[in-house]
Structure 1
Amino acid sequence: MSLSAASTEVIRATLPAVGAAIEDITTLFYRKLFAAHPELLRDLFNRGNQKQGEQQKALAGSIAAFATLQIGPDADRSEEILSRIAHKHATLGITADQYEIVHKYLFEAIVEVLGDAVTPEVGAAWDEVYWKMATMLIKIESDLYAEAGVAAGKVWRTVAVSRRVLQSAETVSFVLTSTDGEALPSYRPGQYISVSVPLPDGANQIRQYSLVGTPSATEWQISVKAVPGSVADDGTEIPAGEVSNFLYHNVFEGDTLSVSHPFGDLVLGEDQSPVLLVSAGIGCTPMIGMLNHLADTDDRRRVSVLHADRSPAQHAHRAELSDLVERLPSAVMHRWYEDLGAREPAGTTYTGRADLSTVEIEDGTKVYLCGPMPFMLSVRESLLERDVPASSIHYEVFGPDSWAAAR
């Protein structure tokens, strides 16, 4: 359903002003929301991302991108933007009634920031945009819950940690099994689960982790990288990873975890198109899941694997990645390390940052990306310069999604 003609014209006229103020609006929105519902910051939203302002920027970018599509020729691309958000919402157990709460505080923030500029006509037009976006998300999320065979929002289960495996000095894998003897839900290669962790201060913080093993009804496997606090080049404080550090230091064999049903729209295509898997750091995890599936099903399609990391010692799943590529008859791998230590570059292992300029990319290749957002945007730009269609580039990001605002 398209926006009404009247609302389309109002949005077209006011989008520049709203877009310029959208980060102020979303920042105030979250402040109002958490003041009224502190439990949402404690038990649902990522406190680290809120502190850095990343979630505010991502929400602003999503709203602006959605509104822009509604007044242009590409309105049918709206679901492409919303699909990733909906999958994330599904792993959090978001339900339709929560969109009413968001609406209340978002529009209070819009009125407070824009003041008299929010005439009844302007308010009605942006209200229509919001509810179109919300209705589409609710529909996608409802379909996801139905496909999963669960009631809306009822996505959580308890699993046991059967094994803990060190993947690098800072990354550990957890093998998870059912606690009640029932089969674990199926998932598609590349999907992820949410993990809810009770922290010492009483909060229950939630994070997402890719399923890295072969799809199985008896066990799941996730990998978790400990993230120390740091300071960015511009002096911005980057908080330590609350959940990842807790899991790394405190969870062992015999413990239990609260996890969600698997979701995620970065999934390996079932056709025989050539595949290019590009990752950096712990972004290798969905790629490991895809490669395990390809190897176990004796898939014959052409596969190119590109990975960038700080050093071989910090490369999680390094040996497993090599083994999986060797098991695939038509697979090639390229690896870049910022620091090779005493080792010398050899074969398809290079020093420095990833460079796609000399990598062969066949026509019809489907690209899957995962890693830090600056890395993925840089790779996307390189791919577009190589005439890879934007529609063939798929990505996953475990954090605020600023991709929509950047493209």
Structure 2
Amino acid sequence: MGQGGRPLTGPIRIVPPVDPTLLSLALPALSLSSLVAAGGLYALTRRYTARAWRELAQAEQDFALRLRAARIRPAQREESDPAVAWQGFRKFRVTRKVVEDQKRETASFYLTPLDGRRLPPYPPGAYLNLRVEIPEVGTETRSYSISGGFTPEYYRLSIKRVPGWTDSSGKEIPPGKVSNFVHDHVHEGSVVDVSAPNHCPHFVLDMESDAPVVLLGGGVGITPMICMWEEVVTRQPTRPVWLFYGVRGSAELMDAADEISALHSMLRQVGDDQRLWLCFSRVKPELDEAGKVIGLAGGESENDLHLCEQSRQQLVVGQQPRVVHHYGRVSIKDWIWDVLPPNFRDTAHFYTCGPGPFMKAIRVDCLAKGVPERRIHFEEFGADSHDALTDVVDTACEVVFSRGGRSKSAAWEGWRRDLQRLAKANEISIRGHCGVGACGECETPILSGRVQHTRDPLPYEPSPGCCLPCVAVPHPDCERLELQA
């Protein structure tokens, strides 16, 4: 029973002993919360400028990240050197910026810590949170996959510029704020804020295993695949790994910077047990009446056609080139399953990253071929990719957002996909930038009712009695849900 004899609501949770580290982190925030609750800051808040509110929000975010780092999963702690790991954000200088493709849409940023200390290692598939201050916008944070094997001197991020576009309903989607800012305004010598490496539990390459690995990257989804590839060929050179890199044409390949480009580095590393397939979706086969390939069409250059035809002829006569240029999309169902070595089908682990529909097709095709879920790993980046991998949850539920003695009620609408977007539609702000349950910034207390998360396992484990609204929906049995937001 609660105070006053009222029954407790929500799930019953066992509260673990309080970690002294967490307590030391929480005390400043508790003091501030007490003053606000007592009304001691009321007069001041009316005089706060927009900048002051942004600074307060940033302090809140820093505290959340320190709290998260303090209770990070044990497996993640073991992978970091306690002498050099850090909490919150750390200052890094961009020591090299490399434009990777002919279209100038993707750039790699080499980040070196200002304090000069060695960097902690990370598992292949890890990501960083990058924080920048954008004029007239404010502080923005985004998560980006680390795009290279580990080195203690620097981390590398490869970021694609996100243009504005119009969706199928005619809605104008604005350009990516952070991606365009770093392309246009972050250069060699610039200083940015970077979090310690983190990772999703199900999207980590097991470096203790010798099982074959199949990596499938679509567009900029190749970035975590480059990291996995480099780690395997460096630390496990005899481990079989096949990488399928899908782009529309060669102008999108990360090879425009010649010898220092990401792709050139990978090409130098291809060994007897590795295969690298470069797949051009705009190159199409021309068939005769009998269905035999008599030529190729499309592509972005004559070189695309020449390389694809050369590889095709090598495969026809039984050769096994280490680097293959292929026409067509990356597809398990249509052709990849047939070219994989037979032992891969029973033992290989499949890792995929790219647009949502791309990853969904890979997962569906793998399951159809009998690959168990435990050997299928995918990395979601952004709400769009998460939406493509999950179903709409329709249920009759009243959702109440409460804060500071005020509340706002909204009916759950399944097509909104998650509670964070429902809140936004009702002009309620919930922090968070990843949209896939990875950053933990949107963690919100559940005052009553139940939720279910649409991602399992969660990359970030919320505190007892809390949820991650960006990947949470009302539980089907819940008629009324109240969140502290």
Shorter-chain TM band: 0.5 to 0.7
Residues 397, 41 of structure 1: CA spacing in aligned structure 2 closer, same or farther, 3 A cutoff? farther
How far is 1:228 from its partner?
1.0
2:171 counterpart letter in structure 1: T
1:378 counterpart letter in structure 2: A
* 2: CA distance, partners of 1:41 / 1:374: 39
Listed as ranges, the matches of 1:151-170 within 5 Å are: 154-168=87-101, 169-170=104-105
Please list the CA deviations of residues 47-101 of structure 1 after superposition, one character each: whole Å capped at 9, or x if unmatched. Answer: xxxxxxxxxxxxxxxxxxxxxxxxxxxxxxxxxxxxxxxxxx99972747xxxxx
1:311 pairs with 2:244: no
* 2: CA distance, partners of 1:188 / 1:255: 27
Please list the CA deviations of residues 208-253 of structure 1 after superposition, one character each: whole Å capped at 9, or x if unmatched. Answer: 1111222011111111111110112332322211101100111111
How far is 1:350 from its partner?
2.9
Q: Identify which of 251, 258, 270 aligns with 2:193.
A: 258
Q: Identify which of 178, 181, 202 aligns with 1:243.
A: 178
Listed as ranges, the matches of 1:176-255 within 5 Å are: 176-255=111-190
* 2: CA distance, partners of 1:42 / 1:234: 34
* 2: CA distance, partners of 1:264 / 1:292: 17
- Say if 1:92 and 1:194, in contact at 8 Å, map to a contact too: no
How far is 1:335 from its partner?
2.7
- Say if 2:217 and 2:354, in contact at 8 Å, map to a contact too: yes
Residues 381, 404 of structure 1: CA spacing in aligned structure 2 closer, same or farther, 3 A cutoff? closer
Between 205-214 and 244-253, the greater mean CA deviation after superposition: 205-214
How far is 1:145 from its partner?
6.4
Query: Which residue matches 2:279?
Result: 336
> How many residue pairs get matched?
291
- Say if 2:79 and 2:121, in contact at 8 Å, map to a contact too: no
How far is 1:161 from its partner?
0.7
1:405 counterpart letter in structure 2: T
* 1: CA distance, partners of 2:127 / 2:369: 30
Residues 157, 375 of structure 1: CA spacing in aligned structure 2 closer, same or farther, 3 A cutoff? same
Moved over 4 A (4+): 38-44, 89-92, 137-150
- Say if 2:98 and 2:107, in contact at 8 Å, map to a contact too: yes
Please list the CA deviations of residues 344-377 of structure 1 after superposition, one character each: whole Å capped at 9, or x if unmatched. Answer: 1332423332222332143111111111111100
- Say if 2:254 and 2:263, in contact at 8 Å, map to a contact too: no
Please list the CA deviations of residues 115-164 of structure 1 after superposition, one character each: whole Å capped at 9, or x if unmatched. Answer: xxxxxxxxxxxxxxxxxxxxxx99665875687549x9932100111111
1:321 counterpart letter in structure 2: L
Query: Which residue matches 2:482?
Result: none
Query: Which residue matches 1:171?
Result: 106
Between Structure 1 and Structure 2, whose CA radius of gyration is higher?
2
- Say if 1:90 and 1:145, in contact at 8 Å, map to a contact too: no
Query: Which residue matches 1:71?
Result: none
* 1: CA distance, partners of 2:55 / 2:353: 27
* 2: CA distance, partners of 1:138 / 1:389: 34
Residues 240, 157 of structure 1: CA spacing in aligned structure 2 closer, same or farther, 3 A cutoff? same
Please list the CA deviations of residues 13-34 of structure 1 after superposition, one character each: whole Å capped at 9, or x if unmatched. Answer: xxxxxxxxxxxxxxxxxxxxxx
- Say if 1:188 and 1:267, in contact at 8 Å, map to a contact too: yes
- Say if 2:352 and 2:359, in contact at 8 Å, map to a contact too: yes
1:269 pairs with 2:254: no
* 1: CA distance, partners of 2:140 / 2:134: 7
Q: Identify which of 222, 232, 235 aligns with 1:297.
A: 235
Query: Which residue matches 1:351?
Result: 327
* 2: CA distance, partners of 1:272 / 1:142: 24
- Say if 1:171 and 1:223, in contact at 8 Å, map to a contact too: yes
- Say if 2:241 and 2:274, in contact at 8 Å, map to a contact too: yes
Listed as ranges, the matches of 1:20-169 within 5 Å are: 93=65, 95=67, 144=76, 148=80, 149=82, 154-168=87-101, 169=104
Query: Which residue matches 2:266?
Result: 324
Aligned identity (percent) is: 29
SS in structure 2 of the partner of residue 286 of structure 1:
helix
How far is 1:261 from its partner?
0.2
SS in structure 2 of the partner of residue 285 of structure 1:
helix
Please list the CA deviations of residues 257-290 of structure 1 after superposition, one character each: whole Å capped at 9, or x if unmatched. Answer: 1000001132211200000001101110011111
Under a length normalisation based on structure 2, what TM-score does the superposition of the two structures give?
0.53
Segments of 5+ residues of structure 1 without an aligned counterpart are 1-5, 9-37, 45-88, 97-136
- Say if 1:212 and 1:285, in contact at 8 Å, map to a contact too: yes
Whose helix fraction is larger, Structure 1's or Structure 2's? 1
How far is 1:323 from its partner?
4.9
Residues 248, 92 of structure 1: CA spacing in aligned structure 2 closer, same or farther, 3 A cutoff? farther
1:250 counterpart letter in structure 2: H
Under a length normalisation based on structure 1, what TM-score does the superposition of the two structures give?
0.63
